[in-house]
Amino acid sequence: MSTLLSFDRVNAYYGNAHILHDFSLDVHEGESLALIGRNGVGKTTVVNALLGQARVRSGSISVDGRARPRWRPYMPAKQGVMVVPQGRHIIANLTVEENLLLGAAIQAKGPWNLERIYQLFPILKERAHTPGTALSGGQQQMLAIGRSLMGNPRLMILDEPTEGLAPVIVDQLGEIIRQVNDQGTTILLIEQNLHLVAGVSRRYLAVEKGSVVASGEVDPQRIEQLQQFVVV
């Protein structure tokens, strides 16, 4: 099993604030991995370091075994790593369909295209020509996922996708992420919602104060054991 994304003893900073401390992580091709932890422990900084938005002073980040001295925001996508950002970031002056087309910017070949996205999310087809931000929160999350799928990613990183969503939508979301994983896309789910983690992830890493403090298999029957890592 090859490693798609790897952080090797990464120390990342915002200005002088030291956020990630010797942070290491390996995401293997095909798996569904969860990164769990409370607010402020540095989960989103993992994404920001990969996008070059947090400064990496030591350690290395590699995609497909290829490390770079400096990552820029457009580089991961070109290597098949698409991020569904926290807060969804639907682009306000584009329609639903244009937001989806933006996701196809790298023109990667693969199973996903506009037609398949509309099959998966019929509501997006109905509202294809309305502004992306006119959708409800749950629909915007579907759009954000659809948009990254348009890039036919090998790895999809979802950063707190349940933020602000109703529980019934969270269940739908879990079903969709499982489908995407079953069709071959590797998943890295950054979450505090253990209900979703139990539904979609098979392995977890727990983060505290910018380092990985625990890891193991996700057992949906005994998910409450992971509570200690997410409750305040």
Partner 1 sequence: MLGISIFNGLVYGSLLVICASGLAMIYGLRRVVNFAHGALYMLGAYIGYTLSIYLNFWFALVLAPLAMLVIGMLLDKAVFRPLQDRDPLSVLLVTFGLLLVFEDLVRAVWGRGNLSIDVPELLSSSVELFGNPTPLYRLAVIGLGVGSMVALWAWLRFSRTGLYVRAASTDPLTTAMMGVNTERVNALVVGIGTALAGLAGVAAGPMLSLAPSMGGDVLVDSFVVVVIGGLGSLGGALVSAILLGQVQSFGTIYLPSLSAVLPFLMMIAILIWRPSGLAGNRV
The reply on whether position 89 binds partner 1 by CB under 8 A is yes
Applying CB under 8 A, among 83, 188, 197, 212 the residue interacting with partner 1 is 83
Interatomic CA distance for residues 173 and 181, integer angstroms? 12
Minimum Å distance from CB 24 to partner 1?
23
- Could you give the residue ranges of the DSSP H alpha helices within the chain? 43-50, 75-78, 96-103, 114-120, 122-126, 137-149, 167-182, 194-200, 227-230
Applying CB under 8 A, among 3, 29, 31, 101 the residue interacting with partner 1 is 101
Please report, as a single letter, which amino acid is at residue 190: I
The reply on whether position 213 binds partner 1 by CB under 8 A is no
Interface segment toward partner 1; rule CB under 8 A; list 86-94, 167-175, 193-201, 203-211? 86-94
Interface segment toward partner 1; rule CB under 8 A; list 37-45, 81-89, 111-119, 162-170? 81-89
β-strand 203-208 against 32-36: which pairing, if any?
Answer: parallel
3-state secondary structure 113-127: CHHHHHHHCHHHHHC
C-beta closer to partner 1: residue 77 or 177: 77
Q: If you search the block for the tokens 């990552």, which residue do you land on? A: 71
Minimum Å distance from CB 26 to partner 1?
22
C-beta closer to partner 1: residue 101 or 230: 101
- Structure tokens that stand for 43 in this block: 């989960």
Q: How many Cβ atoms are within 10 Å of 189's Cβ, its own excluded?
A: 27
Query: How many residues of this chain bind partner 1 (CB under 8 A)?
Result: 25
The reply on whether position 147 binds partner 1 by CB under 8 A is yes
Interface segment toward partner 1; rule CB under 8 A; list 10-18, 70-78, 164-172, 219-227? 70-78
DSSP run (H or E) holding 3: strand 3-14
The reply on whether position 85 binds partner 1 by CB under 8 A is yes
Cα dist. 53→71, 148, 151, 193, 209 in Å? 8, 19, 21, 25, 19
C-beta closer to partner 1: residue 144 or 194: 144
- Chain residues binding partner 1 by CB under 8 A are 51, 53, 72-74, 76-78, 82-83, 85, 89, 91-94, 98, 101-103, 105-106, 147-148, 151
